[in-house]
């Protein structure tokens, strides 16, 4: 929690003023029992109506001043807590965005969503409650005990015994429940992950008639979380009854002692009432403190979970490592290859085996490279290392003769345009989605990118055209339309290297052929990587790379591979009869 407090630094005034005004409110509240004692002992006992009215007006004044102080404290506490949460969310989101795909894959999406939302909200509530009550409640508890000593020392000894007992109960329960609340939040991650998975795959679940099975699995996970929450709740619920038992027992003892002291003439009836009022104040504040402790316990558990995210550092740095020597500057005006894989190996975090082994490829500028292979052969893994989504565990990936690790993120991403397997569009308009490729793109450039991506026709048919609305994740578009828009988005940036990672799978053969023809006619020397399961999509490529179980088993033109590569032959002839072979 300490590391997160830096996000309160811009709210120093609020963090001081909130508890200060609460202390002022508490101070005025401590004077109320004394005023009541004066009304009973002087006003009522002597029948002085004017004195009673004066003291009544004083009580109203104390109440109004306390109300103003309370509202002011609430304002400052809320402002500080909300500002703290805003800064924390921004910092957490920025940190997560800075993590590499390796860390994101390891952490999981559901737990990051939980920590960005539920956990931050719990911490925000904790900060708010601490600023309002953390000093006020102990101040009234000990203030009431001190005021009781000013009335009668013997009766006040009851307070001395009661307060430690109450403190032991409250803090004892806190120590027991704190680790349990961490487990509750972890259980919430599991339930959220299951919910997200079911919502994302709703169509698949219905297609295979798995609704009942998924419902049972969700209920099982939810019941596990519910049982844990109920168990923690039962322990936390002990706080109030145990507190009331101790307070009520202390009040009975206080009344008994007070009656004896009044009979002896040591104290007055009004003073007994004041002592009982102070005991009631202690009861109220300790109940508040107990609830505050529960809130703080949850907040601390959530804060530790958030801190654990901040402690994770990206395994990928964009600066030149100090232990690696600078690569020699080539004397050539133009580097010989656009992309080079020099004996590259890749092993994902936690994987038991390599996903890619000893990949050695050179691709010249302007070439079109096809990558084909069976499912799980490493096609996406290979192209994902070009924009440096993942780092090679061994070997070197170079762009324009320079190690990708020596590029800044901005420079590398400007050179490389990527269209991933899953077409992802964001809520907004078609124009806003295309401008992700380049914020400065003109309308003419946008239409040119759409024409190349074979998306111009359907965009023109939509109401609003470029300003037509795109629903979240492109739900109001077909699979082929989404793929063509994502290709157009990558083309808007005019990249030197364009990667199409199985991004035309939803297109019909005619549209796919038109797209490939348009890509070959791109101006300049754009190097294109096409990952596909279709042999037709890559057979006209300048170079075709065939992968099998993470290893390159063939590299060459379509005609060469049909003669020399068994894996390519198997893939090609599974799609075309041998009589149609080229």
For residue 512, give the 3-state DSSP assignment. Answer: helix
Cα–Cα separations (whole angstroms), residue 396 to 258, 317, 321, 329, 509: 86, 15, 14, 16, 36
Query: Between β-strands 428-429 and 527-531, what pairing exists: parallel, antiparallel or unpaired?
Result: unpaired
Confidence of residue 64 (pLDDT cuts 50, 70, 90): very high
Please give the Cα distance from 147 to 160 (Å, whole number).
12
Picking from 250, 258, 311, 306, the residue whose alpha carbon sits closest to that of residue 282 is 250
Of the two residues 86 and 269, the one the predictor is more confident about is 86
Output the pTM of the full model.
Answer: 0.70
Whole-number percent of the chain with pLDDT over 70 = 96
Confidence of residue 578 (pLDDT cuts 50, 70, 90): low
- Stretch 560-568: mean pLDDT, rounded? 87
Which of 45-59, 205-219, 283-297, 335-349 is the least confident region? 283-297
Residue 269 has φ and ψ, to the nearest 5°, of -65, -40
Query: Between β-strands 368-373 and 527-531, what pairing exists: parallel, antiparallel or unpaired?
Result: parallel
Taking the domains of the chain in order of start, what are their residue ranges?
2-311, 339-580
- Residue 406's pLDDT is what? 86
- Residue 79's pLDDT is what? 92
Which of 136-150, 309-323, 384-398, 557-571 is the least confident region? 309-323
pLDDT in tens, 26-38: 888 888 888 888 8
- Stretch 163-181: mean pLDDT, rounded? 79
pLDDT in tens, 182-226: 788 778 878 888 888 888 788 888 888 888 888 998 898 889 889
Of the two residues 421 and 1, the one the predictor is more confident about is 421
Please give the Cα distance from 9 to 440 (Å, whole number).
37
- Stretch 433-446: mean pLDDT, rounded? 85
Candidates 1.20.1560.10, 1.10.10.410, 3.40.228.10, 1.10.1660.10; CATH matching 2-311: 1.20.1560.10
Domain 339-580 fold: Rossmann fold (3.40.50)
**Tokens of residue 179, six digits:** 């680790």
Burial of 212 (0-12, 13-18, 19+ CB in 10 A): exposed
Maximum average pLDDT range among 313-327, 510-524, 536-550 = 536-550
Q: To the nearest 10°, the Cα dihedral for 261, 267, 269, 272?
A: -80
- Residue 333's pLDDT is what? 57
Confidence of residue 579 (pLDDT cuts 50, 70, 90): low
Per-residue pLDDT for 326 more than 60?
Answer: no
Picking from 161, 144, 138, 139, the residue whose alpha carbon sits closest to that of residue 250 is 161
- Stretch 120-141: mean pLDDT, rounded? 86
- Residue 130's pLDDT is what? 87
Contact 141, 163 (CB under 8 A): yes
Q: Other C-beta atoms within 10 Å of 283: how many?
A: 21
């Amino acid at each position: 929690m300490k590391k997160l407090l830096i996000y309160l630094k811009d709210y120093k005034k609020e963090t001081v003023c909130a508890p200060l005004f609460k202390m002022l409110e508490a101070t005025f509240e401590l004077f109320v029992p004394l005023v009541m004692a004066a009304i009973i002992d002087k006003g009522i006992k002597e029948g002085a109506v004017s004195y009673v009215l004066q003291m009544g007006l004083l009580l109203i004044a104390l109440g109004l001043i306390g109300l103003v102080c309370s509202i002011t404290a609430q304002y400052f506490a809320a402002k500080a807590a909300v500002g703290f949460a805003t800064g924390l969310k921004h910092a957490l989101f920025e940190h997560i965005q800075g993590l590499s795909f390796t860390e994101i894959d390891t952490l999981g999406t559901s737990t990051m969503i939980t920590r960005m939302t539920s956990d931050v909200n719990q911490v925000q509530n904790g900060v708010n409650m601490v600023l309002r009550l953390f000093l006020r409640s102990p101040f009234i508890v000990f203030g009431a005990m001190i005021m009781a000593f000013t009335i009668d020392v013997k009766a006040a000894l009851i307070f001395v015994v009661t307060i430690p007992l109450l403190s032991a109960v409250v803090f004892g329960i806190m120590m027991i429940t704190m680790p349990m609340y961490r487990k509750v939040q972890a259980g919430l991650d599991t339930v959220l992950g299951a919910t997200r998975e079911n919502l994302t795959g709703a169509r698949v679940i219905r297609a295979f008639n798995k609704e009942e099975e998924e419902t049972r699995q969700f209920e099982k996970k939810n019941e596990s979380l519910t049982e844990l929450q109920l168990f923690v709740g039962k322990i936390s619920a002990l706080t109030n009854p145990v507190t009331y038992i101790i307070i009520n027992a202390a009040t009975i003892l206080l009344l008994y002692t007070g009656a004896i002291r009044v009979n002896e003439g040591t104290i007055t009836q009004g003073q007994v009432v004041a002592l009982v009022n102070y005991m009631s104040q202690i009861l109220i504040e300790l109940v508040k403190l107990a609830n505050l402790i529960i809130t703080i316990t949850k907040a601390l558990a959530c804060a530790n979970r958030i801190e654990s995210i901040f402690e994770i550092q990206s395994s990928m740095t964009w600066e030149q490592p100090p232990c690696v020597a600078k690569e020699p500057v080539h004397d050539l005006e133009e580097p010989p290859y656009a992309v080079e894989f020099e004996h590259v190996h890749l092993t994902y975090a936690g994987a038991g085996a390599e996903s890619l082994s000893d990949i050695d490829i050179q691709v010249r500028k302007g070439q079109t490279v096809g990558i084909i292979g069976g499912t799980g052969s490493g096609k996406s893994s290979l192209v994902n290392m070009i924009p440096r989504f993942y780092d090679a565990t061994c070997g070197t990936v170079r762009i324009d003769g320079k190690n990708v690790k020596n590029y800044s993120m901005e420079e590398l991403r400007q050179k490389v345009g990527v269209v991933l397997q899953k077409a992802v569009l964001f809520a907004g308009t078609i124009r806003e989605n295309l401008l992700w490729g380049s914020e400065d793109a003109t309308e003419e450039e946008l239409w040119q990118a759409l024409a190349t991506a074979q998306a111009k026709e359907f965009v023109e048919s939509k109401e609003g055209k470029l300003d037509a609305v795109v629903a979240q994740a492109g739900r109001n578009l077909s699979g082929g339309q989404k793929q063509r828009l994502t290709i157009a988005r990558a083309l808007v940036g005019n990249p030197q290297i364009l990667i199409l990672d199985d991004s035309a799978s939803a297109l019909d053969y005619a549209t796919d052929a038109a797209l490939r023809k348009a890509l070959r006619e791109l101006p300049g020397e754009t190097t294109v990587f096409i990952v596909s399961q279709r042999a037709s999509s890559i057979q006209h490529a300048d170079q075709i790379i065939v992968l099998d179980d993470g290893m390159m088993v063939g590299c060459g033109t379509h005609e060469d591979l049909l003669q020399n590569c068994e894996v390519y032959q198997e893939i090609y002839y599974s799609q075309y009869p041998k009589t149609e072979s080229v």
